[in-house]
Homo-oligomer: A and B are copies of this chain.
Amino acid sequence: MARPVEFDENKVLTNAMEQFWKEGYEASSVQKLLDCTGINRGTLYNSFGDKETFFKSCVDQYNRLSEKQIETTLGNSALQPWEAISAYFDEILVNTSNKHRGMGCLLVNSLCESVNYDKEIKKVIRSSQALVRKPLLARVKQAHKAGKVKKGISPEFATDALLNSLFGARVNARDGKNAKQLKALVDFTIAALRK
C-alpha cells in the first residue's frame, strides 16, 4: 500500500552501533551516524527517532550480538561449566577481530562515559549487563553444585569476580593489550576460583 523501506535495518544498526562503540555517545554526532550508515537525516529521525532512542536501539543490537556469543558458549549444554565459562571469555577476548577487541565493551564504555550522567540510559545499560550475569551465574552455580568451586566462595561472589575481571580486561583491551595478555588475565581469575 505504501512505499517500502530501502535501507537494510540490520546494517544500519550494526554500523551505528560500531560508531557509538568506538567513539562513544557524545562524540558520535548525528552527521557521523548518517555517514557511517549511509541513510539520510530525515530517514534517521523518521525510522529510528531521536539520537537517544537510536542509541538505545544500537544497544539492543549490541545485546543481540552478546546473546549470540552466550548461546554458543555459556548456553552450550555440551560443555562442562568451567569449559563453557572459559569458552565465553575466549569468544569475547580471543575469537574476535582486532578491531572489535580494541573497542572494548559498549556497555562498559557507556558506563564510563556516563551518557547523560543520571538519566534513563544508565538503566538500559544495567539491564543489558544482566543479560550476561544471569547465564554466567547459572554456570557458576552448576560448577558450585558439582564441587568445582574453591571453598568459601559463593556462586554470586564468584560471578562478580569473573565479571570484574572481564570488565578490567575490556578496559585493558581498549588500552591496546593483545588477545594473549587479556586471556591470561581472565584465565588467572578462573584458576583462582576453580577447584
Contacts and interface: CB of A to CB of B under 8 A. Distances in A.
A184 interface: yes
Contacts of A167: 167-168, 171-172
Interface residues of A, number: 37
Interface string A1-34: 0000000000000000000001110110000000
A124 to B, nearest CB: 13
A126 interface: yes
Interface in A132-169: 157, 160-161, 163-169
A24 B114 contact: yes
Contacts of A175: 111, 126, 129
A81 interface: no
A36 interface: no
17 contacts: A23-B117, A24-B113, A27-B116, A108-B171, A109-B112, A111-B171, A111-B175, A112-B113, A112-B174, A161-B188, A164-B185, A165-B165, A166-B168, A167-B168, A189-B189, A191-B192, A192-B192
A181 interface: yes
A129 B157 CA distance: 28
For A26, A161, A167, A184, the residue with the greatest tally of chain B CB atoms inside 10 Å of its CB is A167
